[in-house]
Amino acid sequence: MKIGFDIRPLQESKKSGVGEYVYELLTALFKIDTQNEYFLFSNAKNLKKIDLPAQGNAKVIHKHFNRSNKSLNFQLKFLNSPKIDQMLKEKLDVMIFPNINFYSLSPGIKKILVVHDLSYEIFPEFYSAKSRLWHKIINAKKFCQNADQIIAVSKNTKKDVQNIFKINDNKIKVIYPGISDRFKSGSGDIKEKYQLPEKFFLYLGTIEPRKNLIGLISSFEKIKNHIPHHLVIAGAKGYRADKMLNRLGERMRYIDYVEDKDKPALYQSADIFAFPSFYEGFGFPPLEALAASTPVVASCTGSLGEVLEDAALFVNPYKDNEIAQAMKNLATNPELHNQLMKNNREVLQKYTWENTARQFLECI
């Protein structure tokens, strides 16, 4: 079978959660799949490098097109051409889209779409006017309606797709992503490299309103005089990032975007990982922290309760006092810390990329 795969999320200079998903899923697919051929599609003007996974046991062909996103997206949306399969010069059986994006395909090709979250539908106020316009033009609802199979990364995301886009249940399959084993073994003196304090709470993720960083900063302010910890915030800047970071006070630091190779050691160096996000479709960072044996305070909203189960201390993201109390309790209660660490082993067993890849192949 000839499988097309849209790897445009790997073009980002700072890998996002979707980029991580694409890289790890392809790595697992290439390792276990000896039957199918993969044709990888990407486009970007003057792209210097794209980080591709090892080919493994599969037959893999990557074709990159030196076309700007604006130019190609305009043609795909308004002219319905060029067809991606014709650009690849292959008669594809299946085309996999690991995220919502502009596309055009010849008839008869099975379309599999991965939906990570619908935050842009539920919380449009957390997005810039430009981003809201992009989502309006791309028309995620129509993409979901036209897809032959939708992969939701959690039951919560499946429910959102059903309720908001009115998609039939039998068209949507829940396949959880995996968590890489690399988070279990960090290396290097991360504290020296980033000049980190001895004891600290960590937030790692995009700096944007949806992540509730203002609530996290406010919560830390309430307890910082009662504990020795600092607050360290890491991640690429998103919408209104500077407005949030300007609120950082004493014993709080922003260390910018952290390279992938440094993330395991950073998680392991933290005493507690704090993730009071208003909404997540899955939630890679708290699971990565658990894999690094770092206890987690997380929101009870979105998918996080479903995904983390009893391996995290849950809070209402709209109540700063509750977030503050949970952070303080976890920082000062060794028994609570140890209990969460016991629970995390069972939870993490569910999230392997091999499981994800095998379930994916069943859909193809």
pLDDT bracket for residue 216 (50, 70, 90) = very high
Domains 2-180+352-363 and 181-348 share a fold: yes
Nearest to 364 by CA among 179, 159, 156, 173: 173
Distances (CA, A) of 3 to 62, 121, 174, 361: 12, 30, 20, 11
pLDDT score for 38: 98
Indicate the class that CATH gives domain 2-180+352-363: alpha beta
What would the pLDDT profile of 310-322 be if each residue is shown by its tens digit?
999 999 999 999 9
Please state the φ and ψ torsions of residue 270, each to the nearest 5 degrees. Answer: -75, 150
pLDDT score for 256: 96
pLDDT cut 70: percent of the chain above it:
100
Mean pLDDT, range 61-89, rounded to an integer: 96
Nearest to 90 by CA among 61, 52, 66: 61
Nearest to 233 by CA among 281, 76, 249, 225: 249
pLDDT bracket for residue 46 (50, 70, 90) = confident
Asked whether the beta carbons of 180 and 286 are under 8 A apart, the reply is: no
What would the pLDDT profile of 300-345 be if each residue is shown by its tens digit?
999 999 999 999 999 999 999 999 999 999 999 999 999 999 999 8
pLDDT score for 185: 86
Average predicted confidence (pLDDT) for the chain: 96
Indicate the class that CATH gives domain 181-348: alpha beta
pLDDT bracket for residue 12 (50, 70, 90) = confident
Mean pLDDT, range 192-203, rounded to an integer: 97
CB count in 10 Å sphere of residue 193: 13
Residue 187 has pLDDT above 80, yes or no: no
Domain boundaries, the chain: 2-180+352-363, 181-348
Asked whether the beta carbons of 212 and 269 are under 8 A apart, the reply is: no
Residue 85 has pLDDT above 90, yes or no: yes
> What is the C-alpha separation between 138 and 195, in angstroms, rounded?
42
